[in-house]
Amino acid sequence: MSSSETQYQTIVVTGASGLVGSALKEVIATEPVDSSYGRRTGERWVFLRSSDGDLRDLAQTEAIFEKYKPVAVIHLAALVGGLFNNMKHNLTFMRDNILINDNVLWSAYKHDTKKVISCLSTCVFPDKVEYPLTETKIHSGPPHSSNFGYSHAKRLVDVQNRAYKDEFGCNFTSAIPTNVFGPYDNFDLEDSHVIPGLIHKCYLAKKNGTPFVVSGTGKPLRQFIYSFDLAKLFIWMLREYDSVEPLILSVGEDEELSIKEVADAIVKEVGFTGEYKFDTTKSDGQFRKPASNDKLQSLIGGYKFKPFDEALQHTVKWFIDNYDFARTGFESSAAAKGGRAQPKEPEATAPAGINAETTGGVHAAA
Ligand SMILES: NC(=O)c1ccc[n+]([C@@H]2O[C@H](COP(=O)([O-])OP(=O)(O)OC[C@H]3O[C@@H](n4cnc5c(N)ncnc54)[C@H](OP(=O)(O)O)[C@@H]3O)[C@@H](O)[C@H]2O)c1
């Protein structure tokens, strides 16, 4: 690092080319400097993707920490997949995520990183548990068998955070988001989460003049968090939250939506007027698995989430505008040819005097 760079405090975001990381990059690029969710004067943010270093490899991970000497890390990188991918590859999901998380936390400790916020997920909670989910229930029973590899790897982060605190006094913690959606999501028809999968299906139904078929009865309820709200909550955690205890980041239990309500909203936003039906021969999954955001709201003082319809409108518009670049799972898409979606990058977030390529939310590899 050159001497002109050492005056800046570096925040590294791993997994920044994904759904959550892309939102974080855009929030940092667009919020005013020194505002609640903006970059602070004297900070530089480095946004990493897997081509900047494979975090499953300790040497590559250490090289990243040696290069940037981050004061804090928002650790989003993970092997993430839909239900069927998880079911087929539990060992891979477990090994990759254990390696990634262990290398990041160990390198952060060795390089004296002051704070790490890692990302868990509500799907790591026990299969049999009393609802609502709260932060204290993560380890109180085995996870669902379909994704036990991913779940155990993610739970281990919480165990590691406590061990790093006990043995070395580290300020490492974790966030637990519910279902995330937004631009830059994975819109694959087979291996995606419910909102991006339905948006893509509805878009194709409109384009091809075919029925829009939603799997299941449409009755199950879920909590959805918009990726830009989640990004702001990560920034708030970075500034304000210094406990090792995990924190659920979610809309409230009273904001659950049925899959039918979600599908209706997608039909409206896509402008689909054809046949629309539910395939009740398909499984519904669990009826509801509400998570409490009481702890978050009591600490932050009443965060106002973007209304679902507005967030969905933005997401659908992004998908249609960026169809050739989005992760659709189609070989013909630009994403399949060139990797992750690269449309409409937000402006660089470099403080004056710093090379935008190393700081500006594009590639860290300068
Ligand atoms: N999506 C959800 O609904 C949801 C819900 C709860 C929690 N989460 C958690 O939120 C975090 C972000 O999820 P997401 O949905 O944004 O995931 P995503 O879109 O699949 O992005 C994953 C990110 O991790 C990076 N990555 C994967 N393997 C890597 C490796 N070996 N080395 C370095 N980087 C690697 C990817 O880099 P490349 O793209 O460059 O390969 C990408 O930037 C994850 O920790 C996930 O568990 C997600």
Would 98 be classed as within a structural domain?
yes
In a domain? residue 54: yes
Rounded to 10°, the helix 90-110/148-168 angle is: 20
Which amino acid appears at position 121 of this protein?
A: S
Residue 99 CA, closest ligand 1 atom number:
31
Active-site residue list: 150
CA of 135 to the centre of ligand 1 (A): 22
Residue 355 domain flag: no
Burial 25-55 (b: 16+ CB within 10 A, else e): bbbbbebeeeeebbbeeebbbbbbbbebbeb
172-200 per-residue burial string, b: 16 or more CB within 10 A, e: under 16:
bbbbbbbbbbbbbbbbbeeebbbbbbbbb
Provide the residue range defining the domain that includes 68: 10-325
Position 179 in a domain: yes
The pLDDT of residue 190 is 84
Pocket test for ligand 1, best of 24, 80, 120, 325 (most atoms within 8 A of CB): 80
What is d(CA 41, CA 349) in angstroms, rounded to the nearest whole number? 11
d(CA 76, ligand 1 centre) in Å: 6
Expressed in angstroms and rounded, the spacing between residue 1 Cα and the centre of ligand 1 is 27
Per-residue pLDDT of the chain (366 residues; tens, 9 = 90+): 444 445 789 999 999 999 999 999 999 999 999 999 999 999 999 999 999 999 999 999 999 999 999 999 999 999 998 777 888 999 999 999 999 999 999 999 999 999 999 999 999 999 999 999 999 999 999 999 989 999 999 999 999 999 999 999 999 999 999 999 999 999 998 888 899 999 999 999 999 999 999 999 999 999 999 999 999 999 999 999 999 999 999 999 999 999 999 999 999 999 999 999 999 998 887 888 999 999 999 999 989 999 999 999 999 999 999 999 999 987 544 444 334 444 434 333 433 322 222 332 222 222
User: Ligand 1, atom 8: nearest CA belongs to which residue?
Assistant: 121
pLDDT in tens, 164-221: 999 999 999 999 999 999 999 999 988 888 999 999 999 999 999 999 999 999 999 9
Q: Check residue 324 and give its pLDDT.
A: 93
Is residue 275 domain-resident? yes
Closest atom, ligand 1, to C-alpha of 340: 39
Q: Please tell me the total count of domains within the chain.
A: 1
- Residue 280 is predicted with a pLDDT of 95
Distance of CA 276 from the midpoint of ligand 1 (Å): 32
Is residue 66 situated within a structural domain?
Answer: yes
Distance CA 167, CA 147 (A): 30
The torsion defined by the Cα of 95, 100, 101 and 103, in degrees rounded to 10, comes to: 120
- How close is the Cα of 27 to the center of ligand 1, in Å? 18
Q: What is the pLDDT of residue 331?
A: 56
Give the pLDDT score at 81: 85
Please report, for the domain that includes residue 221, its CATH number.
Answer: 3.40.50.720
Ligand 1 is surrounded, with C-beta below 6 A, by 15-21, 49-51, 54-56, 76-80, 100, 119, 121, 177, 179-180, 186, 193, 340
**Sole residue written with tokens 């994904």:** 18
- Counting from 1 in the atom list of ligand 1, the atom nearest the Cα of 15 is 43
- Terminal-residue alpha carbon distance, the chain: 11
- The model's pTM is 0.91
What is the pLDDT, as a whole number, of residue 47? 98
The pLDDT of residue 192 is: 86
Residue 350 falls inside a structural domain: no
Q: What is the pLDDT of residue 6?
A: 52
Closest CA to 362 of 16, 2, 8: 16
Q: Which of 39, 44, 102 is nearest to 75 (CA)?
A: 102
- Among 96, 47, 110, 38, which residue's Cα sits nearest to residue 73? 47
In this structure, the residue with its CA closest to atom 36 of ligand 1 is 15
98: amino acid identity, one letter: I
| Residue 140 covered by a domain | yes
